[in-house]
Amino acid sequence: MQHPSTYRNRRVVVLGLARSGVSVAKVFHALGAETIASDVKPPEQCPEAEELAALGISVLCGGHPEGLVTPDTALVVKNPGIPYTSPPVREALALGIEVVTEVEVAWWLTDAPIIGITGSNGKTTTTTLIGKLLEAAGRKTIVAGNIGRPLTDAAGEADAASWLVVELSSFQLKGTAAFRPRISVLLNVAETHLDYHGGMDDYTASKAKLFANQTADDVAIVNWDDPECRRLAEGAKARIVPFAVRQRLEEGVYVDPPYPASPEDDGVPRTIVRRSGGVITPIIAVDELGVPGRHNAANAAAASAAALAAGVPAELLAAPLRAFRGVEHRLEFVREKAGIRFYNSSKDTNPTATTMAIRSVKGPVVLLAGGLDRGSDYAALVPVMRERVKALVAFGETRRKLAEAAEAAGIRHIRVVEPEASPEETLERAVREADALAEPGDAVLLSPACASWDMFRSYEERGRIFKKAAHIL
């Protein structure tokens, strides 16, 4: 696409009226484009429609009508979650009309440098942490993107002295062409979202777009422990800064001594360090981090590397790393009741994230899991279930698949919660079942290993219902 200002008096179709769709529709309307916004939700479920219509924007709710995308349409901006198999998207592509996501539009609207963070797991934690590190160093910082705030809103607020710290999903990156972050961060690559992408090739190609337009003046922060991350960075023109937790690096940020291949905690004291030009600079002891777990040590190393690349002195990193207590819905401590600790990790939407969450909490685990069935095999959970999970409470479309994995792991206490009158009641029942199975010293952990859309509008809604249910036990 071209700069949004070039679409004046031209037809722009916006698909999806979520927060990013509303924001981008306002942008094009303000710039004089003939803007049409469309959503599949019925009018009574589209409160955003009234706001846009009041501005003079054409709004269509209740489905994308035939003829929405016409040959004279100049651009289609789609919600990242809308698949490319959707009829208006297919029609646009067949007509040779460019289809982008809101991230691409936002990039054209700002001169502020962007730190773009992506990965299969850890995006939200690392994005939030980078924002905290920059803020603590006195940098003007705006956190946006997949983390909640539309990037187009943030771009309108930012100036050249600001840093935009942006969480990026594969869905968002797939719909980019010119997007160029000043600093890119690739955390890891695991098998996920294959129902959307159709396979790993498209998924990894979407992630690789993070580097596509970077130049030698830019920086790419790459997980050197992950072979797929290294592979995707091979063609990058940016200066590569690796981070690692399982190996020492000649240059970059790493945990010293490295973690062993075994996932078990060996109790060895470790420090996150930076090595540059042969000089090793300690950043913080791993035990001092405000969030536990090996994966959070990796997130902290990645965030430190990004902050250093943005010019933050190493000596300013320890205090915010120590003060950071995580983000909502990611290993969030909810309460302790009769010696039983409750944790909300609703953002864990794939088996890899759930595995890391289980390994990060202390004590035997009563696991609540389940959600949207994307055809995944949950055999990957069997080893960690066998080692750390004493009981499973399964719900949602994948409840029986997860129960089968638990049986394979030899778990004796398995509860399958059938749907109640409402999704909220179903999850409340699951929490009561978990509480009944737990004993003092146990951790009741909501880590679904699945997306939420079979029952809830978002993982946030799922997490909030869990927390409410835990507090009323």
Q: What is the side-by-side order of every strand in the sheet holding 413-416?
A: 332-337, 340-344, 443-446, 365-369, 389-394, 413-416
CA distance 415 to 301: 38
CA distance 346 to 461: 9
Do the beta carbons of residue 392 and residue 402 sit within 8 Å? yes
Domain ranges of the chain: 4-100, 104-323, 332-471
CATH fold for the domain made of 4-100: Rossmann fold (3.40.50)
Model pLDDT for residues 15-32, shown as the tens digit of each residue: 998 889 999 999 999 999
Model pLDDT for residues 117-128, shown as the tens digit of each residue: 999 889 999 999
Contacts of residue 121, Cβ cutoff 8 Å, sequence gap at least 6: 187, 188, 190, 295, 350, 352, 353, 356
Model pLDDT for residues 293-332, shown as the tens digit of each residue: 898 999 999 999 999 999 999 999 999 999 998 888 988 9
CATH fold for the domain made of 104-323: UDP-N-acetylmuramoyl-L-alanine:D-glutamate ligase (3.40.1190)
328-331-332 Cα angle (round to 5): 45
Model pLDDT for residues 205-222, shown as the tens digit of each residue: 999 999 999 999 999 999
| Nearest alpha-carbon partner for 310 in 146, 185, 192, 215 | 185
Largest alpha-carbon pair distance within the chain?
Answer: 66
Q: Kindly report the length of the chain.
A: 473
Instruction: With cut-offs at 50, 70 and 90, classify the pLDDT of residue 263.
Output: confident
Average pLDDT, the chain: 94
CA distance 444 to 431: 9
In the block, residue with structure tokens 């398995």:
414
Out of 146-160, 247-261, 389-403, which region has the weakest mean confidence (pLDDT)? 146-160
CA distance 468 to 428: 9
Contacts of residue 233, Cβ cutoff 8 Å, sequence gap at least 6: 186, 211, 220, 222, 240
Contacts of residue 105, Cβ cutoff 8 Å, sequence gap at least 6: 1, 4, 24, 27, 77, 152
3-state secondary structure of 177: coil
Model pLDDT for residues 158-203, shown as the tens digit of each residue: 999 999 999 999 999 999 999 999 999 999 998 666 677 778 888 9
CA distance 18 to 379: 34
Distances (CA, A) of 197 to 84, 121, 123, 357: 9, 17, 19, 25
Say what the pLDDT of residue 193 is.
67
CATH fold for the domain made of 332-471: Protein-Tyrosine Phosphatase; Chain A (3.90.190)
44-45-49 Cα angle (round to 5): 80
Q: Which two tokens stand for residue 99?
A: 């289809």
For residue 194, give the amino acid letter: L
The conformational region for residue 449 under phi > 0 = left, psi -120 to 50 = alpha, else beta, is left
